[in-house]
Structure 1
């Protein structure tokens, strides 16, 4: 059993919750931070009685809160706290700037002051369009198409400056589209959770646009394992690393996979077509080479596990 302590920002969010679970399983002590604007106490309710988990309700945009959370006993920080709504970032870019860039600067400075290694969780949405059948690797051009993606990319650049300028051990992580239990099923959720929830409720599955856009879908436990592995890997320090499955599926085919007999599938007008990434297919070759990581849960298995969880929750 390790005695190491890890700070997780955004700990009560969807991915944060799974990262906390992975860390506790490995024996770490976890200090979580979340302002509960997007995360929920329900997500971490099963950890509340755990003697190695504590949740602080606070915001990364508050410098004092962040600096108090990290101390000389902190061995690593995994930074997940972020505003993540693409449409909202187009409507209100300021909120994404404050959370994603200013908040990240506070985390970086606290890590610098305490010499704490940092796993910065970015997004695959920073990448430029891709037409080829080959997966997007870490050298693929970036082209943020929304303030959400722009602020996340700026946060990565800032983190890289702390690595090069201060020799802070930073690893930048870009998981592709993560799905699974505890993800929201409304508009702020992911397409797999939305489709599965609507199918259970007997509602039509609504596809924005023509449905030919594709996604590389990674199950939550695989993403969490990737984030923890990469954060503590010496070989990964200073690197940008993707986590995908190496295969993609069109939204049309995803709807067909999830829809039960009798469930209607219909197309509706896209509400933010300018920020749509047409093809997302990630290469995990670098993650496999540096970490020995590869996805373990197939899309069919993941959808079935998500369906079972949603049915139990309803």
Structure 2
């Protein structure tokens, strides 16, 4: 298979590239390096199946069109503005990237007969209300321009399935963490907390810390993403992926740092965007893709910590 991964130099994208190469597929990567880094894909450069990295933007139609001239079979569309707080402060940038950029890629998929896997997010949902967790039929609530833009992108992607018969699938991974994730503002809570714990810095938690997250290890997420592109049985579907267990941010912080005195609660910058409870019901992914997470939260946290230690040794 010939696969294009937009956002392929990013955190999740680079793991998707890794999975595709391990499975013997040919891969191209498009990334403007706003969130990603060439360091994430440097180890793939000598792989005969890695056909190239193009530094470019999904809003640049010329660059996108050139990549699709490589007889691509499937496009894993992960390129996006990903920060919820930034989307509230600057909604235009998020809309341009996540809606207009997605439209540009969709059009090339339609013209060339390419399947699109659209990376959405669990942040489109309203809070979980029961022990069974959030299914694909649960209510959505665009509490930020990021969530609103992702919902708009989802609807465009699904419209191409219904209007043109183009193979598409929308995937909604829950909070993904692991090696290569940034430990800065646009990173994830696990990487930020782990980095601060190493330095002995306070772990700042917005609000009460009783909000929960369902944390999915990145290699499990990558397997899910790749599988969605290979399966014809999921075309036209929306599919969740998560661990199926949630944890409060307070509990997560203590699990990572082990020192309650390092945990500090601060006022939320944009409390209106906070989702009180995120718990995934991944049963549809198991049914349609035979996919289940393999890495427990404790093991995933250890893998992330070990990776960060290796990075510090190289500095």
Question: TM (normalized to structure 2)?
Answer: 0.97
- Equivalent position of 1:205 in the other structure: 203
Q: Judge conservation of contact 1:59–1:65 (CA < 8 Å) in 2.
A: yes
Q: Distance in 2 between matches of 1:70 and 1:21?
A: 21
- In structure 2, the residue matched to 1:9 is 6
Aligned length: 311
1:159-194: CA deviations, max 9, x gaps? 011000000000110000000000000111100111
Residue 186 of structure 1 aligns with which residue?
Answer: 184
Residue 128 of structure 1: how far off its partner (Å): 1.4
Q: Deviations over 1:12-53 (max 9, x none)?
A: 000000000000000001000000011101111111222221
Partner Cα separation in structure 2 for residue 87 and residue 78 of structure 1: 25
Pairing 1:27–2:24 present: yes
1:230 paired to 2:228: yes
Matching of residue 133 in structure 1 with residue 131 in structure 2: yes
Q: Which moved more, 1:130-139 or 1:81-90?
A: 130-139
1:235-250 equivalent positions in 2, closer than 5 A: 235-250=233-248
CA RMSD of aligned residues (A): 1.0
Equivalent residue runs for 1:84-95 within 5 Å: 84-95=82-93
What's the secondary structure of 1:183's corresponding residue? coil
* Residues 205 and 263, structure 1, Cα contact 8 Å, conserved in 2: no
After superposition, where does 1:297-308 map in structure 2 within 5 Å? Answer: 297-308=295-306
Contact map agreement 1:202 1:263 (CA 8 A) in 2? no
Query: Contact between 2:254 and 2:260, CA under 8 Å: does it hold in 1?
Result: no
Tell me the equivalent position of 1:41.
38
Deviation of residue 227 (structure 1)?
0.4
Name the structure 2 match of 1:292: 290
CA separation in 2, counterparts of 1:263 and 1:200?
15
Which residue pairs with 1:173 in the alignment?
Answer: 171
Q: Provide the rounded CA distance (Å) in 2 between the counterparts of 1:181 and 1:72.
A: 31
Stretches of structure 1 that go unaligned for 5 or more consecutive residues are none
Given candidates 157, 160, 165, the residue that maps to 1:159 is: 157
CA–CA separation in structure 2 for the residues paired with 1:108 and 1:288: 27
1:91-102 paired onto structure 2 within 5 Å: 91-102=89-100
Distance 2:248 2:70 in 1: 47
Q: CA deviation at 1:71?
A: 2.6
| Structure 2 match to 1:116 | 114
> Where do 5+ consecutive residues of structure 2 fail to align?
none
**Aligned with residue 254 of structure 1, among 213, 232, 252:** 252
